Amino acid sequence: MQKYNLGYICQPSANVKKSIAILGSTGSIGTQALEVIASHPEKFSVEVLTSNSNADLLIEQSILLQPNAVVIADEKKYHQVKTALEKFPIKVFAGDAALSQVMEMETIDMVLTAVVGFAGLKPTLAAINAGKQIALANKETLVVAGELVTALAKEKAVNIYPVDSEHSAIFQCLAGEWNNPIEKIYLTASGGPFRGKDKAFLTTVKKEQALKHPNWDMGAKITIDSASMMNKGLEMIEAKWLFHLTPDQIDVIIHPQSIIHSIVQFRDGSMKAQMGLPDMKLPIQYALGYPDRLKSTFPRFDFANYSSLTFEKPDSTTFRNLALSIVALQKGGNLPCILNAANEIAVAAFLKDQIGFLEMSDLIEECMSAIKFIEHPTLEDYIHTDHETRIKAKEWIEKKLTVIR
Ligand code: NDP
Ligand code: MG
């Protein structure tokens, strides 16, 4: 088995059918992954499907795809799913612990982690522990506990294939370059719906405006993260762990057209970029099918429709989440975990109209200074940090709402 300097293990072209488990099959990534799988029945089969509380869609997907097992995290929905799937040979489980337990099923080859947020950490660790290859969309897992997750993957000889489009782009640029050191990477960002806006404008924005991403159709949380630039901050931390980079090797560039998905610069100064129309099915398919490029009918890029591709520097003074993420990236320890937990609570509160757009950064900054810093956290430390931060963040919101009332 050949190992590359980035820790990835060489894999021969896979002519065997892969059995896939999808953590979060009812979400934006999960449903697109099912489209990819459906168009390559000779390459993939569905072994496990999971959702949080969307029982109807989970049942519909299960009847169509006949997985071996399904899990619904929300235990209140167990009976609905169990009853609906009674006449099929499908095992039905419920609860958070079951999400991790099913990862041990021998028949699973690869796990696509498409759950949103911290909730993805435990099942992802369980899947790695069971030696399953990982296609990782759930960036929060690496943001929170990158050191632990990548160390376990190394120990278990598990590859973590990026699904996030920027990281997939970097991964694609590295094909054939595995032993050439990276000098720097540029993560591209569309800039979201508020690119170029100032703080005065941002104090007035509502969730309906923030949920309108110019180029990508995604789940609500990542769409708000994209509008606030937190998504790019999380992606910088994700890149650090996926590609073993130091903070000064990771740069962000605004590219409003979202055609160049990211860039690698090598030590001879040469740069490689990966391009294509913004369509998550492409990076999903690359991760599932690696090392093969599978045929697709996705729309192709037409140069005639794009007279220019443009680039700008990000504005981390207005979009403070980017600056806060860079602090967490540089300082490490449990600070990215604090950043992530505070952000999850902040986004949920913004979506409930409890706090304003810019207050999300105030809340995150407050948590980053209030919660105890731990330089070398254990898994228990991460779980505790996440819990403490959520309490602190909710208190902050409650205090603010009390003042308004
Ligand atoms: P969605 O909100 O669309 O879907 C999330 C999925 O996870 C759903 O299946 C949901 O179930 C399930 N889920 C949510 N919370 C829990 C929980 N507590 N326990 C178990 N399952 C849960 O998210 P996206 O598909 O947009 O994003 C998924 C991940 O991929 C995120 O980490 C995101 O950052 C990343 N990503 C997404 C991209 C995109 O284009 N969407 C692009 C790049 C990365 P239910 O339907 O029942 O709520
Ligand atoms: Mg991305």
67-81: average pLDDT: 98
- Residues in the 5 Å CB sphere of ion ligand 2: 164-166
Percentage of residues in the chain having pLDDT higher than 70: 98
Per-residue pLDDT tens digits for 108-165? 999 999 999 999 999 999 999 999 999 999 999 999 999 999 999 999 999 999 999 9
**Would the CB of 324 count as within 6 Å of ligand 1?**
no
pLDDT at 12 over 70: no
Q: Is 141 in the pocket of ligand 1 (CB under 6 A)?
A: no
Architecture of the structural domain at 18-162 = 3-Layer(aba) Sandwich (3.40)
Which residue(s) pair with 186 in the sheet? 251, 263
Ligand 1: residue whose CA is nearest its atom 19: 52
DSSP conformation class of 131: T
Q: pLDDT confidence of 5, banded at 50, 70, 90?
A: low
pLDDT of residue 257: 97
Whole-number pLDDT of residue 360: 98
- Residue 134's nearest CA partner among 31, 238, 324, 287 is 287
pTM greater than 0.85 (yes/no): yes
Ligand 1 in reach of 258 Cβ (< 6 A)? no
**pLDDT at residue 317, rounded to an integer:** 98
Q: Is 1's pLDDT higher than 60? A: no
Number of H helices, E strands in the chain: 16, 11
pLDDT tens, residue by residue, 165-205: 999 999 999 999 988 999 999 999 999 999 999 999 999 99
Domains of the chain, residue spans: 18-162
> What does DSSP say about strands 133-136 and 160-162: parallel, antiparallel, or unpaired?
parallel
Q: Which helix (H) or strand (E) holds 325?
A: helix 320-331
Q: In the structure encoding, which two tokens stand for residue 369, read together?
A: 């200074």
What's the rounded Cα separation, in Å, for the pair 233 and 231?
A: 5
**140 is written with which tokens?**
């929060």
Please tell me the residue having the least CA distance from ligand 1 atom 16. Answer: 52
